[in-house]
A = this chain, B = another copy of it.
Amino acid sequence: MCPGGTPRAAAAAPPEPRVTKQRVAVGDALDTLNDFVTTQELHRLMADDGASVSLATTYRILQSLADDGLVDVLRNGDGEAIYRRCSVSAHHHHLLCRNCGKAVEIEAPAVEAWAAKTAATHGFTSVNHTVEIFGICPECSAASQPATQP
């Protein structure tokens, strides 16, 4: 019975990440934001805030959080990964400002069903999808066009 194994962890218990001050700092920084940011942007924000976390570690922690589904990851127009803490753990999508990064979380059951049906129709398996809407948010539009109105 259970040959050569530690008492717990029957098969392959994934070890939980340790609670380090760097990990806490990243978590706190994410909590103060409701915008999507790149790893480098978050690193700079933390540095400006006094928290000292190396860039390499910021990359590592964000990737780890993403792997565990604790943050949302998607790609900006340049193909760079951008991160944001999920407010809901369920599957959802985003409407985000390509100028300031502000994001609105969106749920669209109809789109989910459409995607699943479309994939099934063509015999595709192991399906996932990306559905993101990019635009300029009201604040950014207002800022760029103060008063003129043709």
Interface residues of A (CB under 8 A from B): 75, 79-81, 95, 97, 104, 106, 108, 110-111, 114-115, 118-119, 122-138, 141
Q: Pick the residue among B110, B115, B124, B133 that contacts A136 (CB under 8 A).
A: B124
Q: Pick the residue among B129, B130, B135, B138 that contacts A127 (CB under 8 A).
A: B135
Majority-rule SS of A interface residues: strand
A118, B138: Cβ atoms closer than 8 Å: no
B125, A141: Cβ atoms closer than 8 Å: yes
B124, A138: Cβ atoms closer than 8 Å: yes
Contacts of A114 in B (CB 8 A): 108, 110-111
Top 10 nearest A-B pairs (CB, nearest first) are A124-B135, A79-B79, A127-B135, A123-B138, A129-B133, A126-B136, A131-B131, A125-B136, A75-B79, A130-B132
Q: A97-B124, A124-B138, A125-B136 are in contact. List 6 more A-B contacts (CB 8 A).
A: A95-B122, A95-B124, A110-B110, A124-B137, A125-B141, A129-B132
